[in-house]
Amino acid sequence: MRSRLTSVVALLLLATLAHAAKQVTIGQVEQMLSADRGLSDDVVSGQLAGLTLTERVTAERFAAWQALFPGARSQHMLLILADESAFHPLPASELSPDPPPSLTAENKIFDAALEYANRTIHNLPNFLAVRQTLHFQTNQDSLDAVMGQARYEAGFAKQDAGSTCELVGLDLAPLAFTGQFSAPVTYRDGEELLNGRAAAPAMPGFTTSGEFGPILAIVLGDARQSSIVWGYWQRRGDTRLAVFRYRVPAAKSHYAVDVGILQSRPAYHGEIAVDPGSGSIFRISIVSDPAKLFEPASAIVIEYGPTILGSRAYMVPLHGVALGRIPVPPGVRTGSTTVVPVQNYLNDVTFAHYRLFRADARILSDEESRQLRDKTPAPAASAPQPQ
């Protein structure tokens, strides 16, 4: 699996993504939204700005929120709020109170998931789909304002303390919507292609690849060679999913992050949600663990679900979230004080319009070939083209 970053982007450090945001629960957000019914789009979006959730928002709850507030700005703020919560714990109401399985049962479930991941790449048919991306990143005007305030505060810190002061992680500027991008995806012979070529960045910011199978095999393979522990039972409609937590050290990592011409394979951790009966994987998250303070970081989650291709149902990616942060190079120096602002990014990705990719061929007899030629009209005469 690969996470690609262009020269102007990177991916996220969760611990400081919402450094200055006000932390709220899902219950508090729903109380606010209930009171905001009937208010303008600008008022609602303004109240949502600067909030960060401490609990994960499910797709069902998010859809209900968006149905209540159709304004474009409110929709974007709700999306940012929900996507940034994708790596937080679920609320207690979404968890099953059932006791954890035995160690033998745990191993059996994970082995089924590993087998599923290894065969997914080989069992998927050739198909076409559309990758639709909503892209957000730190507003440049806000970033400039943060940098200016940091310089101002750094100057006073130096004057008052009589010593140097290092300000880092200044990711205080809000995210702004920068555009919607759509790209056709072809999955053929076990390889994901964008516009007929191997998957690669096709838009400003960053993109990911490997969602259709490679990501599963690599992460589960790394996890099995590293650390896997039981997480919890998650409610999913009338069923429940087994959720494992894993952690992979850099020495065993096959998760690649590209920053310009540089490539790293950082340590990472995350969760894997598995159907205990079939081993099907419904959700996987990957959060990189940077080795250095100023190293770019990434967090990716992919949600899978069944879709019909031809006459069969296949598990395919339906939705993904990619968050990122990178210190803005080369930094701003105020005397001996270093100010390092942080650029944040968010991609909300939907995979839709799945259909089989087929090429039909038929061998014609000499008689059928002659009849086809007789039925084909002669090409119309065209005027000579200027030289």
State the pLDDT at residue 330. 53
Average pLDDT over residues 304-330: 85
Question: CA separation (Å) from 183 to 22, 199, 202, 236, 359?
Answer: 35, 11, 8, 30, 21
Domain boundaries, the chain: 26-87, 96-356
Sign of CA dihedral 119, 121, 124, 129: positive
State the pLDDT at residue 5. 35
Q: What share of the chain is helix, strand, coil (3-state, %, to 5)?
A: 30, 40, 30
Buried b (16+ CB within 10 A) or exposed e, 308-344: ebeeeebbbbbbbbbbbbbbeeeebebeebebbbbbb
Give tens-digit pLDDT for 155-212. 433 333 333 323 333 344 578 888 898 889 888 877 787 665 555 444 445 566 778 8
Joined tokens for residue 250: 């850099």
State the pLDDT at residue 129. 92
State the pLDDT at residue 9. 29
**What CA–CA distance (Å, rounded) separates 100 from 269?**
21
Give tens-digit pLDDT for 197-237. 555 444 445 566 778 878 898 999 999 999 999 999 998 87
Q: What pTM value is reported for the model?
A: 0.77
Give tens-digit pLDDT for 255-285. 887 665 567 788 999 999 999 999 999 999 9
Give tens-digit pLDDT for 10-26. 333 333 443 456 889 99
Of 34, 45, 30, 39, the residue nearest 75 (C-alpha): 45
Which residues, 6 or more positions from 205, have their beta carbon under 8 angstroms from its beta carbon? 6, 8, 9, 135, 137, 178, 345, 347
Q: Report yes or no: 222 and 255 within 8 Å, Cβ to Cβ.
A: yes
